[in-house]
Structure 1
Amino acid sequence: MINQDNIVALATPSGAGAIAVIRVSGADAISIGASVFKSVRNKDLTKQKSHTLHLGHIVDDEKVLDEALVSLFKGPNSYTGENTVEISCHGSTYIQQQIIQLLLRKGCRMADPGEFTLRAFLNGKLDLSQAEAVADLINSDNEAAHQVAMQQMRGGFSNEIANLRQELLNFASLIELELDFSEEDVEFADRTQFRELLERIELVLKRLIDSFAVGNVIKNGIPVAIVGEPNVGKSTLLNALLNEERAIVSDIAGTTRDTIEDELVIKGIGFRFIDTAGIRETKDVVESIGIQKTFEKMAAAQVVVYLFDGLQLSDKTTLEAIKNEIEKIRNQYPMKPLVIIGNKSDKLPEVQVVEITSEIPEILLISAKSGKNVEELKDRLISFVNTGALRNNETIVTNTRHYDSLLKALEEIQKVRFGLQHNLSSDLMSIDIREALYHFGMITGQVTNDELLGNIFANFCIGK
């Protein structure tokens, strides 16, 4: 599947900038680069050492297109494993287009999305999970996502999977050998050691599968729905959290008629805050649609922030109604963290603060307008995220494809354990072992097909 042609693409974001990097990879990349490059010291690019930089001009016959710096990487010691040239030119879009068109005329073709990384994978420079981590690294927009992508790109996850696969493969070979000598009724695989290995593999797989709950929110952000009745300060709270006027604030009930979303990074973790329409009985058709969306967002969110007007909590009847509403939400979403917020607390006398906190001990009294206790709210939100695995630099699964393969591998390992416990024949167990090995191989790319690779690398940006 490895193409032998030479590919070219812009490696930096499209548009004008200070500089742009144009990447060429392929067997003839260096000779093509030499045909358009004129060194200020008359160097022949084809005779230079790998991993060197050269200053000169990009020329089209006698026409000088730009002054540029050319980086030279000879295969297999390059990102793609092939000869690679990177041209750092000025960031004018006109210059970029002129140089790329020149390289196309010299024998290159435009690279497909992710084709440089695909070639790195096909040439053995990266395994498949590391290649996917490259895309995650490019897309990481907070410290936690960056840390997880870096750990995976360095091979932490793939090494763990590869070691398990190799140990299982060793035992699988012995099981297969027993089948060759089935008439002799001999056992080459030590059943006790095999049982211990299966137990260890199952523990590791369960740990990796459990880590996906953390990994998924690190990668995609934690959706937090801010809900409550109209005019309790939901939009003001969103603005206070984001430290900008993101949502319209007014004294008119029902101002927010649709959900408003924005993102905030708290201590390296991404949160997606959703300001929803106030929940109330209304005959307004548009507002009713917004309220329906509020319930949908509550169901989809991983954390619900329920906001009340703290001034209303001084009324005993209202307080009881709110307590009942809290209990109703808890019953409806028993597994969903619920943060109870009393807003406008800066206008409450101390005696009422004591009464409210005694009635609802878990309530957090804030003032979204003045910012009082907003930082404490952020601390409470971050407490819902298990960052222990991050601090301990443990392997965290963030990729849905990996998660699916791990689940299937675990299912096959459990079948093998069942067969071992009930003394099933080796030929039956070998089928399940081969299936487990297949799913391990799907993660690292030892088992692939063109459709799988096409789906993965189609999501990459062009130039990477």
Structure 2
Amino acid sequence: MTQDDTIIALATASGAGAIAVIRLSGKDAIAISSKLFKSIHGKDLTTQQTHTIHLGHIMDGNRTIDEVLVSLFKNPQSYTGEDVVEISCHGSVYIQQEIIQLFLRHGCRMADAGEFTLRAFLNGKLDLSQAEAVADLIASDNEASHQIAMQQMRGGFSGEIAKLREELLNFASLIELELDFAEEDVEFADRTQFKDLVERITFVLKRLIDSFAVGNVIKNGIPVAIVGEPNVGKSTLLNALLNEERAIVSDVAGTTRDTIEDEISIGGIGFRFIDTAGIRDTKDVVESIGIKKTFEKIDQAQVVIYLFDATQFKVQGSKFKVELEKIKNKYPLKPLIVIANKIDQVADTLIAEMQAEIPEIQLLSAKTGFGVEPLTNSLLKLINTGALRNNETIVTNTRHYDALLKAFEEMQKVKYGLETGISGDLLAIDIREALYQFGLITGNVTNDELLGNIFANFCIGK
């Protein structure tokens, strides 16, 4: 994998804007920029200090393309560990393309997806888990996912893994040393201390593996299906949660004929609400397709909100309870929140009756907003955010999760081997495999295919 050339890409979002930033990285970044940049004060970029900004013009021969600010970051004090130049120009798409094409003609190459961060990793500025956190940070769309990505980018997760790996590596070295002196029957590694270390590593791995359940929903959002009969107020509830008229609301049953999805952040956690077509027997072909999709969305959702019309409880209460039991029986492990809507239109005596027959119901008036806050609190209680509040390491990356599971399996083998007194050579094999899995997370163990898969998911310019 070569990185001798100089790469260039647009670092800001594509399209027109007030300002655009074009980034270069490589051994010739400053030299090429110096040829094409004319300082208003006559400065030579090649002689300027690192972390300085210079005003001037990008010139194509005698033609001025734009007035720009050029920022210099000399190696190794830069994001990539190489010489980096950032050109802040006006945000016209024409100007952006003219500058990039000019630099391409003078020796630069268009950067591949994630190549700036890849170079940062290859130059030791970031380990692999920190590099992956850069992509997560860019993609974060709520407070919780942003917090986790920042912690990982600062090395919180990789630091914990690196410490475990170092301690295990020290003991592995002693075990290997014993193998070199096998004929003399000597023991360099204290088995009691080693058992304590294995217990500690196993405990930490278990905690990290368990955190993935929380981390995954924080990173990807929690899908919540809003289900119930037609015209019970599902779309009104969705609008109340989103605080906008996202779904069409009318008194005509079956208005929602397809699922409507939107995402909001509650307490820093992303929730994706799915307003489904009403569940009922119908001869309408289009509506029946929507009802089929409703059950598909319930399958995909992690939380189900069952909504019924409080004003119809006297007449259809038994039917509501039958539908409720069907959902409970079909999805026994799925969190279910039962809501009586249109509560502003019923008497207190009926409210008491509903609460007696369905103790877990929550009261709501989606139209007035009454009960929306208790509902959002109930949703948050379903998520274990304790680790997030305590600033503990939370795993969100599937690749890391897979490596941790494999490392945990190997440590269980090591633990069993210590308990049964197996030979040091067999013990060393399991230790080496655990170390390999740790190395995959931080980048101590890599190959071109792994790096290609990881950085291909980055945006161009980062």
User: Does TM-score exceed 0.5, indicating one fold?
Assistant: yes
Distance 1:171 1:187 in 2: 12
Distance 1:378 1:312 in 2: 25
Shift of the alpha carbon at 1:283? Answer: 2.5
Distance 1:107 1:319 in 2: 75
State the match for 2:175 in structure 1: 175
State the match for 2:155 in structure 1: 155
State the match for 2:321 in structure 1: 323
Is 2:246 the counterpart of 1:231?
A: no
State the match for 1:376 in structure 2: 374
One-letter amino acid matched to 2:90: H
Distance 1:285 1:454 in 2: 47
One-letter amino acid matched to 2:144: A
One-letter amino acid matched to 1:114: G
Instruction: Note the alpha carbon deviations across 1:213-232, whole angstroms, 9 max, x for none.
Output: 11011100010000011111
Aligned partner of residue 254 in structure 2, secondary structure: coil
Instruction: Note the alpha carbon deviations across 1:256-283, whole angstroms, 9 max, x for none.
Output: 2221110011111110000111111223
One-letter amino acid matched to 2:272: R
Distance 1:216 1:357 in 2: 35
State the match for 2:349 in structure 1: 351
State the match for 1:408 in structure 2: 406
One-letter amino acid matched to 1:384: L
Shift of the alpha carbon at 1:331? Answer: 2.7
Shift of the alpha carbon at 1:346? Answer: 0.3
State the match for 1:14 in structure 2: 14
**1:171-320 map, 5 Å:** 171-315=171-315, 318-320=316-318
Q: Normalising to structure 1: TM-score of the pair?
A: 0.98
Aligned partner of residue 17 in structure 1, secondary structure: coil
One-letter amino acid matched to 1:410: F
State the match for 2:429 in structure 1: 431
Instruction: Note the alpha carbon deviations across 1:328-382, whole angstroms, 9 max, x for none.
Output: 3223222211110001100011111122112222211111112111122111111
- Asked if the contact 1:314/1:356 (under 8 Å) is kept, the reply is no
One-letter amino acid matched to 1:172: A
Distance 1:62 1:219 in 2: 50
Distance 2:204 2:319 in 1: 47
State the match for 2:455 in structure 1: 457
Aligned partner of residue 18 in structure 2, secondary structure: strand
Shift of the alpha carbon at 1:298? Answer: 1.0
State the match for 1:64 in structure 2: 64
One-letter amino acid matched to 1:122: L
State the match for 1:44 in structure 2: 44
Instruction: Note the alpha carbon deviations across 1:197-219, whole angstroms, 9 max, x for none.
Output: 01000110010011011101110
Shift of the alpha carbon at 1:194? Answer: 0.5
State the match for 2:81 in structure 1: 81
- Asked if the contact 1:118/1:131 (under 8 Å) is kept, the reply is yes
One-letter amino acid matched to 2:225: A
- Asked if the contact 1:2/1:119 (under 8 Å) is kept, the reply is no
- Asked if the contact 1:54/1:71 (under 8 Å) is kept, the reply is yes
Shift of the alpha carbon at 1:141? Answer: 0.6
Distance 1:414 1:324 in 2: 47
Distance 1:121 1:417 in 2: 34
Shift of the alpha carbon at 1:323? Answer: 2.9
State the match for 1:339 in structure 2: 337
Q: Percent identity?
A: 75
Instruction: Note the alpha carbon deviations across 1:63-99, whole angstroms, 9 max, x for none.
Output: 1111111000111110000001000011111111111
One-letter amino acid matched to 1:372: F
Shift of the alpha carbon at 1:324? Answer: 3.6
Shift of the alpha carbon at 1:285? Answer: 2.7
Shift of the alpha carbon at 1:142? Answer: 0.6
- Note the residue ranges of structure 2 that are not aligned, 5 or more in a row: none
Shift of the alpha carbon at 1:126? Answer: 0.3
Distance 1:382 1:463 in 2: 36
- Asked if the contact 1:2/1:122 (under 8 Å) is kept, the reply is no
One-letter amino acid matched to 1:75: N
Instruction: Note the alpha carbon deviations across 1:180-205, whole angstroms, 9 max, x for none.
Output: 11111211111001100010001100
Aligned partner of residue 85 in structure 1, secondary structure: strand
**1:97-108 map, 5 Å:** 97-108=97-108
Does 277-286 or 373-382 show the bigger shift? Answer: 277-286
Shift of the alpha carbon at 1:5? Answer: 0.3
Aligned partner of residue 350 in structure 2, secondary structure: helix
Distance 2:116 2:317 in 1: 62
Does 299-308 or 354-363 show the bigger shift? Answer: 354-363
One-letter amino acid matched to 1:50: T
State the match for 2:395 in structure 1: 397
State the match for 1:35 in structure 2: 35
Distance 2:244 2:321 in 1: 32
Q: Normalising to structure 2: TM-score of the pair?
A: 0.98
Aligned partner of residue 70 in structure 1, secondary structure: strand
Does 353-362 or 108-117 show the bigger shift? Answer: 353-362
